Amino acid sequence: MPTWGTVLFQNGVSSVMEYLIFFHDHIMIVMIMIMVMVGYVLVNSCINKFYNLNMFHGQELESIWTVIPAVFLLFIAFPSLRLLYLMEESEMYDMTISVMGHQWYWSYEYSDLGFKSFDSYMLEDADSTFRLLNVDNSLVIPYNTSVRMVVSSVDVIHSWTIPSLGVKVDAIPGRLNQLSLMFNRVGLFSGQCSEICGANHSFMPIMIMVVPRMEFLMNWFV
C-alpha cells in the first residue's frame, strides 16, 4: 500500500514489480560491500606507516583491482539481464485495453470486448477520499489475467504509470506503445501521468480496480 510520506517502494502487485524490488535490494547489498571494501582500504592507507619508495608498479595489485570490479559487475549484470527478459511482452493475452491520453484525463476502451470507450476524470477534493488520486470512472481489470495495454495520445505526450505494478509507458500522439501486465492481487491501485504535459499535468490520475474474474464478468459485462 502507498502511504503518505513514505520513501520506500510500494508493495508489488505483479511479478515484475516484485523482481524489481528484489533487484534493487540486491544492488544495494553489492554497493554496501563495495563501500565497506573501499573505505577500509582508504582508511588503512591513511593510518599505516609502511611505504616503499622504490615500488613503481605491481602486476599482482593491478590485476586484483581489475578483477574484483569485474566480479562485482557480473553480480549486477546477471540479475539485470534476467529481469529484462522477464519484462518482455507476452505473446498470449486474455484481453486488450486501449488507453488514450488527453489534456487532462484518460480514456479507456476494452478493444476486443466490443464496448465503447469511457473517460476517466479526477474527482474534486470534496468528493475524493485521496486527494488528486480518485477518479469518477476507474479502469476495471480482472485478477490474474494477462492484459495487453495499447497506449497513445490525442494531443501531447503523456505517460501512463502505475508504480505498484512496475510499468511506465509514454503516450505519444500518432504512435502506439504496447505493454503487458498481470495483477496478482485484488484491490485499488493508483498512478499519475509522469510526463509534464501542460498546466493541469498533476490532475490526471490513474485508478485501476482489480476484481476477481467472475465478478468482472458478472457485474460489468452482463
Residues 54 and 109 in one domain: no
Residue 116 in any domain: the answer is: yes
Residue found by looking up cell 591513511 in the block: 46
Measured CA to CA, the distance from residue 16 to residue 166 in angstroms comes to: 6
Q: CATH number of the domain that 193 lies in? A: 2.60.40.420
pLDDT at site 36: 93
pLDDT at site 32: 93
Residues 113 and 212 in one domain: yes
63-72, 154-163, 211-220: segment of lowest average pLDDT: 211-220
pLDDT tens digit string along 170-208?
899 989 888 888 888 888 888 888 888 888 888 889 999
Of 80 and 129, the structure prediction assigns the larger pLDDT to 80
**What is the residue range of 117's domain?**
95-220
Q: Indicate the number of domains in the chain.
A: 2
Average pLDDT of the chain to the nearest whole number: 83
Residues 51 and 107 in one domain: no
pLDDT at site 215: 82
Residue 152 in any domain: the answer is: yes
Q: For the residues 133-161, what does the mean pLDDT come to?
A: 88
Please report which confidence band the pLDDT of residue 39 belongs to, taking 50, 70 and 90 as the band edges. very high
Residues 204 and 118 in one domain: yes
Closest to 154 (Cα-Cα) out of 110, 204, 89, 113? 204
pLDDT at site 135: 86
Residue 57 in any domain: the answer is: yes
Residues 206 and 104 in one domain: yes
Q: Give Cβ neighbours of residue 210 (< 8 Å, ≥ 6 apart).
A: 13, 140, 141, 142, 143, 183, 185, 186, 187, 188, 189
Measured CA to CA, the distance from residue 222 to residue 220 in angstroms comes to: 6
pLDDT at site 180: 85
pLDDT tens digit string along 90-146?
667 888 889 999 988 899 988 777 777 888 888 876 555 677 788 888 888 888 888
Domain boundary among 65, 88, 111: 88
Q: In what order do the strands lie in the sheet with 187-192?
A: 139-142, 205-211, 187-192
Residue 4 in any domain: the answer is: no
Whether the Cβ atoms of residue 22 and residue 30 lie closer than 8 Å to each other: no
Residue 40 in any domain: the answer is: yes
Residue 100 in any domain: the answer is: yes
Whether the Cβ atoms of residue 76 and residue 33 lie closer than 8 Å to each other: no
pLDDT at site 48: 78
pLDDT at site 100: 92
Measured CA to CA, the distance from residue 62 to residue 169 in angstroms comes to: 44
Q: Is the pLDDT of residue 222 over 60?
A: no
Domain boundary among 61, 88, 115: 88
Measured CA to CA, the distance from residue 168 to residue 219 in angstroms comes to: 29
Measured CA to CA, the distance from residue 163 to residue 185 in angstroms comes to: 15
Residues 165 and 147 in one domain: yes
pLDDT at site 90: 65
pLDDT at site 128: 58
Q: Is the pLDDT of residue 1 over 70?
A: no
Residues 75 and 165 in one domain: no
Instruction: Name the percent of the chain lying above pLDDT 90.
Output: 11
Q: CATH number of the domain that 68 lies in? A: 1.10.287.90
Residue 28 in any domain: the answer is: yes
Residue 208 in any domain: the answer is: yes
Q: Is the pLDDT of residue 60 over 60?
A: yes
